[in-house]
Amino acid sequence: MRDLTTPPRSRLERVLRSGRFAVTAELDAPDSADPNDVYQNALVLAEVCDAINATDGAGANCHMSSMGCCALLTRAGYEAVLQMGCRDRNRIAIQGDLLGAAAMGVRNVLCLTGDDVSAGDQPEAKRVFDLDSIQLLQVARMMRDRGVLLSGRKLRTPPQFFLGAVENPFAPPFDWRPLRLEKKVRAGAEFIQTQYCFDVPRLQQFMRRVRDLGLHERVYILVGVGPIRSHKAAEFMRDRIPGVWIPDAVIQRMAKTPKAQQAEEGKRICIEIIQQVREIEGVAGIHVMAYRQEEAVAEVIQRAGLLPRRPRRDWDRISRMNRMDQVIQTTKTNSVDFVHSV
């Protein structure tokens, strides 16, 4: 059973404990050093979701770091989910980053192993993989609950994290996936975000086994969904993105749709999947992913009947915008001062 004896460590955990169907969304880290590029996308997503994931070198490609995005998001008052991968950091760097994230106000951490460098545009990069996702969960939980580092050295102030992990119900061997999920729960995972779901019958089979193991009572499961932009995009996702499975029926449905209407059809498919997923026992929410399509994410969530997320307070939005303006202005001022000093 979930530990409900301690207060929620984050707003996302509070939503999930309340029994509301949660919505998280992925903010694609920009190829930019301008904080405004983060805030423009965050403004759209924050209106329709309970927390915003900042990706960590997604697809083994370089973008603004998850740590940098989360620093900006928390300073502006957003509920951020830090994605922490093992591909690019050893255990010393990981522990230091977890402490730094906690100091910046990050309360949600998603632990990932990470895509191999061969999937990205710099395949010659060195792999680290000092830890894997299960070991990372164990380390983060140890720092939080026991207040020590891996070396045994005590922490003056332990980080307070709501810990998450990922799972892919759509990749073989299918019978092994619920067992791997159980390992992650034992290691410390309190919420799970899955890979894209385009195959609801396969998800239903996975969730039946999850319920048989009692895992639906020990971890919150958020199913990954997202609108497909076009038939070509669907084929690219299936053939080129590691871990993504799109059934032939979905590919054919997109192919039969006139090109000018394919983006709308992709949204319809996503909405249909959300509505089916909501009926599956043990599913606590959805995690929406749509590369560079923040406006489409907002539209899908609205049309799926998942709004409002919480009572809207205009002063919250104004306050966030003021804080974003302050961050952007400070960044520009510091840049000018540095140039002048040189």
Banded pLDDT at 313 (limits 50, 70, 90) = very low
pLDDT given for residue 4 in this prediction: 80
Q: Which of 21, 27, 5, 13 is nearest to 298 (CA)?
A: 27
* Residue 297 neighbours by CB under 8 Å, 6+ apart: 25, 44, 45, 48, 49, 226, 227, 288, 290
Mean pLDDT of the chain: 91
Residue entry with tokens 């092994």? 176
At residue 73, does pLDDT exceed 90?
yes
* Residue 243 neighbours by CB under 8 Å, 6+ apart: 168, 170, 171, 195
CATH assignment of 11-310?
Answer: 3.20.20.220
Banded pLDDT at 293 (limits 50, 70, 90) = confident
CA pair distance 318, 333, nearest whole angstrom: 22
Residue 306 DSSP SS3: coil
Say if residues 87 and 97 touch (Cβ distance below 8 Å). Answer: no
Say if residues 84 and 66 touch (Cβ distance below 8 Å). Answer: yes
What is the total residue count of the chain? 342
At residue 77, does pLDDT exceed 80?
yes
User: pTM for this structure?
Assistant: 0.90
- The mean pLDDT of 217-227, rounded to a whole number, is 97
Banded pLDDT at 108 (limits 50, 70, 90) = very high
CA pair distance 180, 140, nearest whole angstrom: 18
CA pair distance 340, 238, nearest whole angstrom: 50
Domain boundaries, given as residue ranges, for the chain: 11-310
* Residue 242 neighbours by CB under 8 Å, 6+ apart: 115, 116, 119
Q: Torsions phi, psi of 212, nearest 5?
A: -60, -35
* Residue 155 neighbours by CB under 8 Å, 6+ apart: 99, 143, 147, 148, 149
Task: Give the pLDDT confidence of 6-17 residue by residue, as tens digits.
Answer: 899 999 999 999
